[in-house]
Structure 1
Amino acid sequence: MKYTATYDLMESVRNTNEWLGASVQAFASYPLFALSMNPMLPMMAAWGKVTERSFARMVAKPDWGIRSVVGPDGQDHLVDEKVVVERPFGNLVQFFVRRRAPMARRILLVAPMSGHYATLLRSTVASLLPDADVWVTDWHNARDIPVSAGKFDVEDYTLYIADFLRELGPDTHVIAICQPVPLVLAATAWLAAEDPDAQPRSLTLMGGPVDPDAAATEVTDFGRRVTMGQLEQTMIQRVGFKYKGAGRLVYPGLLQLAGFISMNAERHSGAFTEQILREARGEASDHDAHNRFYDEYLAVMDMTAEFYLSTVERIFKNREIARNVFAVKGKRVDIGAITRVAVKIVEGEKDDISAPGQCLAALDLLTGLPESKKARHLEPGAGHYGIFAGKSWRLNIRPLVLDFIDANSAAPRPERKPAKAVTPIRLASA
């Protein structure tokens, strides 16, 4: 019961703050107070509104919100989310565009399972949909998965990816972002040995920890400092009685969120202070920049304890992927078995989560792949999120990735001109 008590304590704190924010907002907005000129009343109402919204978002899965896409005919085409493969721990979801013929590009976006929902890739999906058919791995919140569904660790994750690729077929192009990069590499190597015809045509690996020792970050330093016993005692909790997964051992999303915020506490504190002031002045809105960002950022999900612990131990501490000794079902997965899948590495120059070099290490493991099928790109000035959701993605990386996909498709598109990297304009200081 010890682990359940701590889980329910965190949920109680969150629930209390949500209630407190709503109560303060309601109290400070009481009509009688409109006769008062005291500036503290609108400030109280603003604080309550921001607080209530923030704590409520922590347990709500965001909506994809992709309603339509403009087709080549200039018309809007409605977009449906279709579950192609349904599994206990995650689904394969297609963004099906109505009244549009199948596209030549078939892209599987492998979303991270690192505390946030797959909707973190919303802007990435939306930017690819006009030019490709897009599928995404939609991982489930572990708190909502009954204990009867069994375990889910890094080996299970790898097999899920392999099964999704079997479902989509060999004309698929994979884009893996952050956490799944080493396991997508392992899944492809697994297919190379077990089911070669199911391998994708290309892998685009973006900002992932293939070799955490290649470049130190705060994340890798943390993994090196703590022991597995310390992690299990301090990070693992048992889902409380409020959710379907009651009794399941998890790494709670709320605990992960606390870690995220602590890494940039001053910046987040300033952002919320500014938002409260905007609310008090009547300048904020439901869909302003602050709410769009934090509605997604604050929405966190629990990971199964075995997935979290096996990731830290096998990927970060033991470096099983980096040393090419990773095994699935007791059978070693040889990355060198990949001989025909083109691989492109994308890194951000200022990535402080998976620093440049960690993802690039994948190319050294691909000993059986010709150099002509290897590519790399280091985006100047880009941070971790910028490489898949920011200006760097929109202006530089997305065109380069589409060119890479076209160059390694069954029917390349010669009419598309190669993209050129856009150099940011720098203003001279006065």
Structure 2
Amino acid sequence: MKYMATYDLMESIRLTNAWLGSTAKAACSHPAFGLSMNPLLQLTAAWGEVTERTFQRMQAKPDWNINSVVGADGRDHLVDVIKKLEKPFGDLIHFEVQGRTEKPRKVLLVAPMSGHYATLLRSTVVSLLPDCEVYTTDWHNARDIPVSAGKFDVEDYVLYLVDFMKLLGPDTHVIAVCQPAPLTLAATAYLAEEDPEAQPNSLTLIGGPIDPGAAPTEVTDFGRTVTMGHLEQHVLQRVGFKYAGAGRMVYPGLQQLASFMAMNSEMHSAAFFDQIVRTARGEAHEFDRHNRFYDEYLAVMDMTAEFYMSTVERIFKNREIAQDIFEVNGKRVHIGAITDVAVKTVEGGKDDISAPGQCVAALDLLTGLDDSKKASYLEPGAGHYGIFAGKSWRNNIRPLVLEFIDANMTHERRRMDFANIKSLHAR
């Protein structure tokens, strides 16, 4: 019960802060103070507005907000988010573009399960949609999953990816961003041994901890030095009575958010102070840069305790992927079994989460893959976020990833591509 009490206490603190912000905003924005020359009133109202929004965003799952995409015909085509496969801990979704001929590039974007929702990849999806059929993993918030649904650890994660890849078929190109990179590599190796015909055409690993020991960071140092008993005692909690997952042991998203913000506390403090000043001056607005970033950054989700613990122990401490000793359902997964899937790694030169060297280590594990099917790229000035979103991704990395996909597309998809081009010219 102490775990439930702690979880409910954290939720109470969040609600209290949201209420304080709302109260300050309402009180100091009262018309009676309209002619007041005291700047403290405007600043207090602005603090309340920013605070209320901040703590409300921590609970809500963001919407994808991808309404349309411009097609090759110059028209806007509406986008529907369709669930292709629903499972208790995550769904496979397709961004279906209405009225557009199917694109030959079929991409499965594997989103991280590291405290944020899959919508963290919104800009990545938007950048790929004009040229690809985009599918992505949409992981669920553990607090909303009843205990009766069972466990979900790294092995279950791998088996989910296996099911998704089997459904999409062998002409798929998989892009794994950050945390899922090692598990996506394992899922591909699992298919190589169990169902070779279901393997994807290519696999792109972006900023993932394939070998956390290759280049230490604060994240890897934490995973290496902390004890499992300490984690179990101090960071795990049981979901409180407010949610459907009441009683489920989780690693709370609020706990993860606190850790994220502590790593760059000065930057975040300055950003919120500046936003309060802009709000007081009337210069802030609903969709300004601050709100667009923090509406996504502050929206966090809980992870199942077994997934968090097995990630720390098996990926970071024991380095099971890096040492090629990872097992799924008691069966060892050999990374060297991958012989036909082209693999590319992408790293950021200024990545302080998965430093350069951690992801490219995957290529050394692919002992059965010809060197002609291996590729790597280092974006010198990019941080962790920049390698899958923002200027570095759009200008440099995305074109290289699309070239890699095209170079490893099956003949059937190439014929489909040419047919689509002829159809477009015929119009």
TM range (shorter): over 0.9
Distance in 2 of aligned mates of 1:23 and 1:225: 43
Task: Check the 8 A contact 2:104/2:414 in 1, yes or no.
Answer: no
Distance in 2 of aligned mates of 1:357 and 1:33: 58
One-letter amino acid of the structure 2 residue matched with residue 330 of structure 1: G
2:137 is matched with which residue? 137
Task: Check the 8 A contact 2:314/2:320 in 1, yes or no.
Answer: yes
One-letter amino acid of the structure 2 residue matched with residue 268 of structure 1: H
Q: What displacement does 1:35 show?
A: 2.5
One-letter amino acid of the structure 2 residue matched with residue 397 of structure 1: I
One-letter amino acid of the structure 2 residue matched with residue 217 of structure 1: T
1:396 is matched with which residue? 396
1:275 is matched with which residue? 275
2:371 is matched with which residue? 371
1:52 is matched with which residue? 52
List per-residue Cα deviations over 1:200-225 (Å, max 9, x = no partner).
00000000000000000000111122
One-letter amino acid of the structure 1 residue matched with residue 161 of structure 2: I
Comparing 28-37 with 46-55, which one deviates more in the overlay?
Answer: 28-37
One-letter amino acid of the structure 1 residue matched with residue 165 of structure 2: L
Distance in 2 of aligned mates of 1:47 and 1:208: 37
Distance in 2 of aligned mates of 1:256 and 1:373: 37
What pairs up with 1:14-413 in 2 under 5 angstroms?
A: 14-411=14-411
Q: What displacement does 1:36 show?
A: 1.5
Distance in 1 of aligned mates of 2:35 and 2:310: 60
Q: What displacement does 1:97 show?
A: 0.2
Q: What displacement does 1:37 show?
A: 1.3
Paired residue secondary structure (2:292): helix
Task: Check the 8 A contact 2:114/2:179 in 1, yes or no.
Answer: yes
Distance in 1 of aligned mates of 2:245 and 2:50: 30
Distance in 2 of aligned mates of 1:201 and 1:362: 17
- Scaled by the length of structure 1, the TM-score of the pair is 0.96
Q: What displacement does 1:253 show?
A: 0.1
Give 5+ residue unaligned stretches, structure 1: 417-430
Distance in 1 of aligned mates of 2:264 and 2:406: 39
List per-residue Cα deviations over 1:264-320 (Å, max 9, x = no partner).
000000000000000000000000000000000000000000000000000000000
Distance in 1 of aligned mates of 2:174 and 2:224: 30
Paired residue secondary structure (1:241): coil
Distance in 2 of aligned mates of 1:328 and 1:242: 34
RMSD between aligned residues: 1.2
Distance in 2 of aligned mates of 1:223 and 1:198: 34
One-letter amino acid of the structure 2 residue matched with residue 306 of structure 1: E
Distance in 2 of aligned mates of 1:155 and 1:35: 63
Q: Number of residues paired by the alignment?
A: 416
Paired residue secondary structure (1:131): coil
Q: What displacement does 1:13 show?
A: 0.4
List per-residue Cα deviations over 1:15-55 (Å, max 9, x = no partner).
00001000100000111111321111111110000000000
Distance in 2 of aligned mates of 1:323 and 1:222: 20
1:420 is matched with which residue? none
One-letter amino acid of the structure 1 residue matched with residue 373 of structure 2: K
Distance in 1 of aligned mates of 2:146 and 2:284: 40
List per-residue Cα deviations over 1:239-264 (Å, max 9, x = no partner).
00000000000000000000000000
Distance in 2 of aligned mates of 1:103 and 1:206: 23
Distance in 2 of aligned mates of 1:186 and 1:224: 21
List per-residue Cα deviations over 1:320-368 (Å, max 9, x = no partner).
0000000000000000000000000000000000000000110010000
Give 5+ residue unaligned stretches, structure 2: 419-427
Task: Check the 8 A contact 1:407/1:413 in 2, yes or no.
Answer: no
Q: What displacement does 1:86 show?
A: 0.1
Distance in 2 of aligned mates of 1:185 and 1:328: 13
Distance in 2 of aligned mates of 1:376 and 1:109: 18
Task: Check the 8 A contact 1:24/1:45 in 2, yes or no.
Answer: yes
One-letter amino acid of the structure 2 residue matched with residue 401 of structure 1: V
Q: What displacement does 1:124 show?
A: 0.3
One-letter amino acid of the structure 2 residue matched with residue 300 of structure 1: V
Poorly superposed stretches of 4+, deviation over 3 Å: 411-416
One-letter amino acid of the structure 1 residue matched with residue 367 of structure 2: T
One-letter amino acid of the structure 1 residue matched with residue 180 of structure 2: P
Task: Check the 8 A contact 2:190/2:334 in 1, yes or no.
Answer: yes
Task: Check the 8 A contact 2:25/2:49 in 1, yes or no.
Answer: yes
Paired residue secondary structure (1:355): coil
Task: Check the 8 A contact 2:25/2:48 in 1, yes or no.
Answer: yes
Task: Check the 8 A contact 1:335/1:365 in 2, yes or no.
Answer: yes
Distance in 1 of aligned mates of 2:391 and 2:214: 26
Q: What displacement does 1:394 show?
A: 0.5
2:423 is matched with which residue? none
Paired residue secondary structure (2:130): helix
Q: What displacement does 1:413 show?
A: 6.3
Distance in 2 of aligned mates of 1:346 and 1:396: 11
Distance in 2 of aligned mates of 1:313 and 1:390: 32
One-letter amino acid of the structure 2 residue matched with residue 311 of structure 1: T
**Percent identity among equivalent residues?**
73
Distance in 1 of aligned mates of 2:211 and 2:319: 7
